[in-house]
Amino acid sequence: MAKRSTDALTPAEIADAKILRGTGGETHQIAEGDTPVLTTQQGIPVADDQNSLRIGPRGPTLLEDFAFREKIFHFDHERIPERIVHARGFGAHGTFETYEDLSALTSADIFQRAGEKTPAFVRFSTVAGNLGSSDVARDVRGFAVKLYTKQGNWDIVGNNIPVFFIQDAIKFPDLIHAAKQEPDSGFPQAQTAHDNFWDFISLMPESLHMALWIMSDRTIPRSFRFMEGFGVHTFRLVTAEGKSSFVKFHWKPKLGLQSVVWNEAVKINGADPDFHRRDLWSAIKRGDYPEWDLGLQVFDDAFADSFPFDVLDATKLIPEELVPIRIVGRLVLDRTVDNFFAETEQVAFHTANIVPGIDFTNDPLLQGRNFSYLDTQIKRLGGPNFTHLPINAAKCPFHSFQQDGHMAFVNPKGRANYEPNSWGPGIGGPRESPESGFHSFPAEDGGEKRRVRGELFADHYSQARQFYRSQTPVEQTHIKDSFVFELSKVETPAIRARVVSHLLTIDQTLAQKVADGLGLAELPEAAKPARPLVEDLPASPALSILLNPPKDFSGRKVGVLVSDGVDGAFLDEIERLLTAEGAQMEVIAPRVGGFTAKDGTLRPAHQKVNGAPSVLYDAVAVLLSTEGAKLLLNEATAKDFVSDAFAHAKVIAFTQAAQPLLEKAGVIADEGCLLLDTPAKAETFLGLCRKGRRWEREAKVHAV
Ligand code: HDE
Question: Predicted ipTM?
Answer: 0.98
Q: What is the pLDDT of residues 641-671, one digit of tens each?
A: 999 999 999 999 999 999 999 999 999 999 9
- Residue 462: CB partners within 8 Å, gap ≥ 6? 308, 309, 533, 534, 535, 537
Residue 490, pLDDT > 90, answer yes
Mean pLDDT for the stretch of residues 206-234: 98
Mean pLDDT for the stretch of residues 130-137: 98
Neighbours of 79 (CB within 10 A): 10
| Ligand 1 center–CA 353 separation, angstroms | 13
Cα 419 to Cα 165: distance, rounded to the nearest angstrom: 43
Which residue spans of the chain are classified as CATH 2.40.180.10? 73-180+228-388
Q: Average pLDDT over the chain, rounded to whole?
A: 95
Q: What is the pLDDT of residue 702?
A: 86
- Nearest in space to 110 (alpha carbons), one of 206, 237, 20: 237
Mean pLDDT for the stretch of residues 18-38: 64
The pTM of the full predicted model, rounded to 2 decimals, is 0.95
Residue 590, pLDDT > 60, answer yes
The H or E element that residue 392 is part of is: none
Confidence of residue 18 (pLDDT cuts 50, 70, 90): low
Does 196 qualify as catalytic in the annotation? Answer: no
Which residue spans of the chain are classified as CATH 4.10.91? 5-64
**Using an 8 Å Cβ cutoff, are 127 and 170 in contact?**
no
- Nearest in space to 258 (alpha carbons), one of 209, 222, 282, 204: 222
Residue 202, pLDDT > 60, answer yes
| Ligand 1 center–CA 276 separation, angstroms | 20
- For residue 53, report the phi and psi dihedrals to the nearest 5 degrees: -80, 125
Q: What is the pLDDT of residues 596-641, one digit of tens each?
A: 999 999 999 999 999 999 999 999 999 999 999 999 999 999 999 9
CA angle 473, 478, 481 (to 5 degrees): 125
State the amino acid at position 552 in one-letter form.
Answer: D
Residue 139, pLDDT > 90, answer yes
**Using an 8 Å Cβ cutoff, are 428 and 416 in contact?**
yes
Q: What is the pLDDT of residue 247?
A: 98
**Using an 8 Å Cβ cutoff, are 265 and 134 in contact?**
no
Beta strands in 575-692 (DSSP E): 584-589, 595-596, 602-603, 607-608, 619-623, 652-654, 673-675
CA angle 136, 137, 140 (to 5 degrees): 100
Q: Is 253 in the pocket of ligand 1 (CB under 6 A)?
A: no
CATH code of the domain made up of 73-180+228-388: 2.40.180.10
Does 460 qualify as catalytic in the annotation? Answer: no
Residue 24, pLDDT > 90, answer no
Q: Is 209 in the pocket of ligand 1 (CB under 6 A)?
A: no
Q: Could you give the residue ranges of the DSSP H alpha helices within 399-441?
A: 425-428
Residue 307, pLDDT > 70, answer yes
Best of 349, 367, 370, 453 to mutate for ligand 1, by most ligand atoms within 8 A of CB? 349
Homologous superfamily of the 557-701 domain (CATH)? Class I glutamine amidotransferase (GATase) domain (3.40.50.880)
**Closest Cα to atom 6 of ligand 1:** 85
CA–CA distance from 474 to each of 5, 216, 373, 515, 546 (Å)?
Answer: 52, 11, 38, 19, 9
| Ligand 1 center–CA 78 separation, angstroms | 24
Cα 330 to Cα 493: distance, rounded to the nearest angstrom: 48
Q: What is the pLDDT of residue 34?
A: 79
Residue 475, pLDDT > 90, answer yes
**Using an 8 Å Cβ cutoff, are 587 and 623 in contact?**
no
| Ligand 1 center–CA 84 separation, angstroms | 9
Cα 590 to Cα 563: distance, rounded to the nearest angstrom: 7
CATH 1.10.3470 fits 5-64, yes or no: no
The alpha carbon of 650 is separated from its chain's Cα centroid by a whole number of angstroms, namely 24
Which residue spans of the chain are classified as CATH 3.40.50.880? 557-701
Confidence of residue 7 (pLDDT cuts 50, 70, 90): very low
User: Which residue is catalytic, options 153, 159, 160, 196?
Assistant: 159
Q: What is the pLDDT of residue 31?
A: 60
Mapping DSSP onto H, E and C, the string for 92-159 reads: EEEEEEECCCCCCCCCCHHHCCCCCEEEEEEEEEECCCCCCCCCCCCCCEEEEEEEEECCEEEEEEEE
